A and B are shown apart, each in its own frame.
Chain A
Amino acid sequence: QKEVEQDPGPLSVPEGAIVSLNCTYSNSAFQYFMWYRQYSRKGPELLMYTYSSGNKEDGRFTAQVDKSSKYISLFIRDSQPSDSATYLCAMTRSGAGSYQLTFGKGTKLSVIP
Chain B
Amino acid sequence: GAVVSQHPSRVICKSGTSVKIECRSLDFQATTMFWYRQFPKQSLMLMATSNEGSKATYEQGVEKDKFLINHASLTLSTLTVTSAHPEDSSFYICSATPRAGQGNTIYFGEGSWLTVV
Counting chain A residues whose Cβ lies within 8 A of the other chain, the interface size class is 20 to 34
Work out how many contacts link A and B, with CB atoms closer than 8 A. 48
A105 to B91, CA, bound (A): 15
A43 touches B106 (CB 8 A): no
**Whole-angstrom distance between the alpha carbons of A79 and B41 in the complex?**
23
Interface residues of B in 63-81 (CB under 8 A from A): none
Cβ contact within 8 Å between B93 and A44 = yes
Contact (A43, B109) CB under 8 Å given A99-B97, A100-B49: yes
Does chain B have a CB within 8 A of A46? yes
B106 touches A103 (CB 8 A): no
**Chain B residues positioned under 8 Å from A106 (CB to CB):** 43
- In the bound assembly, the distance between CA atoms of A42 and B6 in angstroms comes to 11
Separation of A25 and B108 alpha carbons in the complex (Å): 23
Residues of chain B with a CB closer than 8 A to A41's CB: 91, 111, 113
Instruction: Known contacts A8-B41, A41-B113, A43-B93; decide if A100 and B46 are in contact (CB<8 Å).
Output: yes
**A99 near B108 (CB under 8 angstroms)?**
no
A81 at the interface (CB under 8 A from B): no
> Is the CB of B42 closer than 8 A to any CB of chain A?
yes
Encode contact with A along B15-52: 1 for CB under 8 Å, 0 otherwise.
00000000000000000101000000111101001000
Q: Is A78 interfacial (CB-CB < 8 Å)?
A: no
B43 touching A105, Cβ below 8 Å: yes
Contact across chains for A42 and B111 when beta carbons are under 8 A apart = yes
Residue B88 lies at the interface, judged by CB distance under 8 Å to chain A: no
Contact B113 A46, beta carbon cutoff 8 Å: no
Quick one: closest A residue to B96, CB to CB? A99
| B73-117 near A? 1/0 per residue, CB < 8 Å | 000000000000000000101010100000011111111010000
> What is A's interface to B at a CB cutoff of 8 Å?
6, 8, 34, 36, 41-46, 49, 88, 95-96, 99-101, 103-106
Show 7 A/B contacts (Cβ-Cβ < 8 Å), sorted by A. A36-B108, A44-B44, A46-B107, A99-B34, A100-B49, A101-B95, A106-B43
